[in-house]
Chain A
Amino acid sequence: MNKKPLGYGALFIAIALLPFLGVYPIFAMKVMCYALFACAFNLLIGFTGLLSFGHAAFLGAAAYAAGHAMKVWGFPPLVGIAFGTLMAAVAGLVFGLLAIRRSGIYFSMITLALAQMLFFYFLQAPFTGGEDGLQSVPRGSLLGINLESDSALYYLVLAIFIFGFWLIYRTVHSPFGQVLTSIRENEARATSLGYDAARFKLMAFVLSAALAGLAGATKTLVLGFATLTDAIWTTSGLVILMTLVGGMGTMVGPIVGALVIIALENKIGDLGQWLASLTGIQWFGGLGESVSLVTGLIFIVCVLAFRRGLVGEAGALWERVRKT
């Protein structure tokens, strides 16, 4: 039973060794940012039972706030990231206070609508650079180490990722996390036992928003820009898809899901070219332009046949093998 921390340790050591195995560090850092984003989202859907359809708002808010702080105000990287995370937490508190007033499907619609409101604000606000986004954010340096070097930044991002993952792990496996699970399973019963369900949901929502913000702020540091893509509703859909593909309510599912989806986005153009040359149908060649078509199909397949996700299905298979 207590072999799990060992497994996570092995996973992190493997990630730490990736650059030596020829993995492009920017790609690996991008995957880590989205993996943290998906883990933060999973804290709500998987462990509290709340489907937020507006999580891109927190990713985007933190990305812009951190980028602005580092570029215009000259904040050092860690302070900039902390500022971005704080802004996402504030947005999470405001959204949460409104959204938890309704439950179920209404909760999802409210978060989606509020996120769209923030998106329009980012579109018009002067500091975001509108359609162009916030470009050329400097990476700066940390403790005298210049972060312009990809390998130095890699280990900072890994440290942030491990910190975020550890926080989620501790939350889920704490008495607080047990209460969240009980709310997911039976809210009325949790309330009757004396737990203030609304307060617990709000706390989980703010924590999830802050961690999504941590991911967004780190992403700005890695890529050097923040754009409207970070805050648009399709990004909220993307993080749902990552979590669904990997496995809702599992610890490592969202990480696997993020890896699969980001890799797919990168390779889909090549795949389309290959299909076009294989079948002679020119239309496939344009597949790289319509990624949403493929992600939509994966969504449908996952919901119909594959609701436990990759990690969930693997776990179920493992249980069956062990029993026989």
Chain B
Amino acid sequence: MTDFFGVPLPALLGQLLLGLVNGSFYAMLSLGLAVIFGMLNIINFAHGALYMMGAFLAWMGLEYFGINYWAMLLIAPLIVGVFGLVIERLLLQWLYKLDHLYGLLLTFGLTLVIEGVFRSFFGVGGQPYAAPEALSGATNLGFMILPNYRAWVVVASLVVCLGVWVLIEKTSLGATLRAGTENPKLVQAFGVNVPRLVTLTYAGGVALAGFAGVLAAPILQVNALMGSNLIIVVFAVVVIGGMGSILGSILTGLGLGVVEGLTKVFYPEASNTVVFVVMALVLLVRPAGLFGKEK
């Protein structure tokens, strides 16, 4: 058996893969946060709660209606997106002229409400959700045993992230969106319905969180608090990467997932805190973040 600094290679690769899985969740969530912040100037604290909602919807679909994983992978983000639409029209649209911090506070309150509702119905215990038949089991690659579902999560999130990148950087809708981020008044003067663009951006961003939630359901236990533990780490990821660049968000998310996975192998006590330590170091060396621009 090959060893790598005293750690058997399969164990190391297993943790690396797990790190990549976590990293893809960081990437998808920080991507959504960045897009929403660009358009709405709001840091969406509720992103974690909406990710949790996506996971719960997947579980509820199977439990109550017998809808399978593949269908929920489409339906759950749609429901979360529509819910986002309602949030934006009902609550967030009144805050755009105020200080950024009110957006953070309102979405924080929203997080407490959403979590409170799920807690009052399902408690804080985890609900198990089985991976779909086609992806259960593992493939032996010779040098490691690859659990199929984990591989699928990494591939699916990479495809989605790159899809979002293409949408924003390479299509005319994306060009309008970027222009709206830059100067909403001017874009409005050109006849673009900016408020509708803002609403759709929010809905799209949170649908991405819902999608991540469905992907996470078979790996992590579905429980009411799964989102808030994640969102704080994602905030640190956003501070490290800076919110200026889409590809930057994706790379930072994946990279930090890998760093976390490696820490779990070599120094497990610090695996919870390593992302925050990296954040502190980045703040010392490059305060604007790895991909951010100094104002």
Report yes or no: A98 in contact with B283, Cβ–Cβ below 8 A: yes
Task: Tell whether, in the assembled complex, residue B100 and residue A105 are in contact, meaning their CB atoms are under 8 Å apart.
Answer: yes
Closest to A303 in B: B106
* Known contacts A51-B101, A108-B104, A304-B91, A296 near B116 by CB under 8 Å: yes
Q: Name the B residues within 8 Å of A303 (CB-CB).
A: 95, 102, 105-106, 109
Q: How far is the CB of A255 from chain B (nearest CB, A)?
A: 20
Using an 8 Å CB-CB cutoff, how does the interface string of B86-127 with A read, 1 for contact, 0 for none?
Answer: 000001001100101110111011111111110110000000
Q: Which residue of A lies closest to B112 (CB)?
A: A296
Instruction: Identify which of B37, B43, B108, B280 contacts A299 (C-beta below 8 A).
Output: B108
Which residues does chain A contribute within 8 Å of B102, judged by CB atoms?
Answer: 303, 307
Query: Which of B109, B120, B228, B269 is the one whose CB lies under 8 Å from A297?
Result: B109
Q: A112-B235, A113-B276 are in contact. Are A237 and B112 (CB under 8 A)?
A: yes
Is the CB–CB distance between A300 and B232 below 8 Å? Answer: no
Determine whether B238 belongs to the interface, using a CB cutoff of 8 Å to chain A: yes
Chain A residues 272 to 324 lying within 8 A of chain B, measured CB to CB, are 283, 286-287, 289-300, 302-304, 307
Which residues of the other chain, B, contact A237 by a CB distance below 8 angstroms?
108, 112
User: Is A102's CB within 8 Å of the partner chain B?
Assistant: yes
Task: Name the segment of A59-67, A115-123, A165-173 touching the other chain.
Answer: A115-123
Q: Does A35 contact B (CB under 8 A)?
A: no
- Chain B residues near A297: list those with CB within 8 A: 109, 113
Q: Which residues of chain A are within 8 angstroms of B98 by Cβ–Cβ distance?
A: 307
CB–CB A102/B239 < 8 A: yes
CB-CB nearest in chain B for A53: B104
List the count of A-B residue pairs having beta carbons below 8 Å apart: 123
- For the complex formed, measure the closest distance between the CB of B126 and the CB atoms of chain A, giving whole angstroms: 17
Report chain A residues within 8 Å CB of B104.
51, 53, 105, 108
Inter-subunit contact B113/A293 (CB<8 Å): yes
Q: What residues of A have a CB within 8 angstroms of the CB of B108 in the complex? A: 237, 240, 299
For A, the interface residue count at a CB cutoff of 8 angstroms equals: 44
**B positions within 8 Å CB-CB of A:** 37, 43, 91, 94-95, 98, 100-102, 104-106, 108-117, 119-120, 228, 232-233, 235-236, 238-239, 269, 272-273, 275-277, 279-280, 283-284, 287-288
> Could you say which residues of chain B place their CB within 8 Å of the CB of A102?
239, 283, 287-288
Is A117 a contact of B276 with CB atoms below 8 Å? Answer: yes
Would A299 and B112 count as touching, CB distance under 8 A?
A: yes
B120→A116 contact, CB < 8 A:
no
Residue from the list A109, A290, A304 in contact with B238, Cβ < 8 A: A109
Contact of A114 among B37, B116, B280 (CB under 8 A): B280
B119 contact from A101, A123, A290, A294, Cβ within 8 A: A290
Interface of B is mostly: helix
Instruction: Let me know if A104 is at the binding interface, CB within 8 A.
Output: yes
Q: How far is the CA of A146 from the CA of B119 in the complex (A)?
A: 43
Q: In the complex, how many angstroms separate the beta carbon of B20 from the nearest chain A beta carbon?
A: 22
Supposing A290-B116, A293-B116 touch, asked if A300 and B283 sit within 8 A by C-beta, the answer is no
A98 near B284: Cβ-Cβ < 8 Å: yes
> Which residues on the B side are within 8 Å of A121 (C-beta)?
273
Q: Does A155 contact B (CB under 8 A)?
A: no
Cβ contacts under 8 Å, A258 to chain B: none
> Bound state CA distance, A101 and B295, in angstroms?
12
Q: Is the CB of A286 within 8 A of B120?
A: yes
Cβ of A290: which chain B residues have Cβ within 8 Å of it?
116-117, 119-120
CA of A108 to CA of B104, assembled, Å: 9
Query: Shortest beta-carbon distance, A269 to chain B, in Å?
Result: 13
Smallest CB gap from B228: residue in A: A233
Contact between chains at B232 and A112 (CB < 8 Å) = yes
Given A296-B110, A300-B113, the answer on whether A117 and B277 have CB atoms closer than 8 Å is yes
Contact across chains for B43 and A105 when beta carbons are under 8 A apart: yes
Q: Considering the complex, which residues of chain A in the window 123-167 have a beta carbon less than 8 Å from any beta carbon of chain B? A: 123-124
Docked-complex contact A289 and B120, CB < 8 angstroms: yes
Contact B105 A109 (CB under 8 A): no
